[in-house]
Amino acid sequence: MDSPPELAFGQLLIGGISFMLLSGALLVMFIVVYQKRLLQQQLLLRAAEAEYQRQLLAAVIEAQERERERIGRDLHDGIGSTLATAKLLMGRLESTGAQEEASNLSSMVKEILGNAVHDVRGLSHSLYPAVLDRFGLADALQHLADVCNETSTLDVELSIDYPQPLALPQELALYRICQELIHNAQKHAQGATLLQVRLRQHGTRLSLSVEDDGCGFDATALESTRAASGGAGLRSIEVRVQMLRARLSQQSAPGQGTCTLIEMDTAA
């Protein structure tokens, strides 16, 4: 028979082996459960990324369709009606026999056609700013400000410190953001007399701000309005901000104007 010390050692050994086996089983179960949860999280993350890409694509398509609609409206209501008027005047010019009337009609036709040429150039620039492709973002923004000052009652004041130009796709995105913000201010900033546009670059940090002195708005009311209307204009801006991996912030209050700021790290 085994002596009591030997029995105690055997029981201790069996207990230690049982504990190790139980610990190993628990460890295996923990690893299996952890991997299962990790897989579920990865699947949820992929689903969220896929949904985000779907929403991003939908916003881009919506912005494109909205731009096509605007271009079609400008062609029909603006340039189309202008050319139709010129055609009618040309018909009157052919049928008139009075020298003075013919001279007046000729002057009117030239003026109308000149306006049509101006409208076509403006529409062409909105489709793709050739100045941006040839001379860069700074000159393109200057040209945009000049055009706005000529065609709108809202004065645009431009300030640029941009020593290191970015790649063309990034510059085009920044230009479109600025263009949309200026359009929004002209449309919604009631009572505004001045629109300040600032482009600043310090090292790898770049900021673009557009600030007006108009009526401003209540941020809570704006969110509910965007939820109801879709806010296609601002969503188009947000899409481009995301493409640039930038940050967008907006400050406003009733009667205190609106300031929109885009900040990005050009080294990212």
Dihedral sign of CA atoms 144, 149, 152, 157 in order: positive
For 7-31, how does the pLDDT look when each residue is reduced to its tens digit (9 = 90+)? 676 777 787 788 888 888 888 888 9
Pinpoint the alpha helices (H) of the chain. 4-73, 81-95, 99-127, 130-135, 137-151, 168-188, 219-229, 232-243
The CATH classification number of 136-268 equals: 3.30.565.10
Res 220: pLDDT: 63
Residues 6+ apart with CB under 8 A from 108: 89
DSSP state of 234: H
For 109-159, how does the pLDDT look when each residue is reduced to its tens digit (9 = 90+)? 888 888 887 777 667 666 667 788 888 999 999 989 998 888 788 899 999
Q: Where are the domains of the chain?
A: 1-127, 136-268
Residues 6+ apart with CB under 8 A from 38: none
| 48, 97 Cβ separation under 8 angstroms | no
**Could you give the 3-state DSSP secondary structure of residue 201?**
strand
Please determine, for residue 225, whether its predicted confidence score (pLDDT) is greater than 60: no
pLDDT above 90 coverage of the chain, percent: 23
Residues paired with residue 258 on neighbouring β-strands, in sequence order: 212, 252
**Measured between alpha carbons, how far is 95 from 100 in angstroms, rounded to an integer?**
13
> Where is pLDDT greater, at 70 or 248?
248
Residues 6+ apart with CB under 8 A from 157: 145, 194, 195, 196, 197
**Could you give the 3-state DSSP secondary structure of residue 208?**
strand
Res 228: pLDDT: 41
Please determine, for residue 4, whether its predicted confidence score (pLDDT) is greater than 80: no
User: Residue 218: which H helix or E strand, with range?
Assistant: none
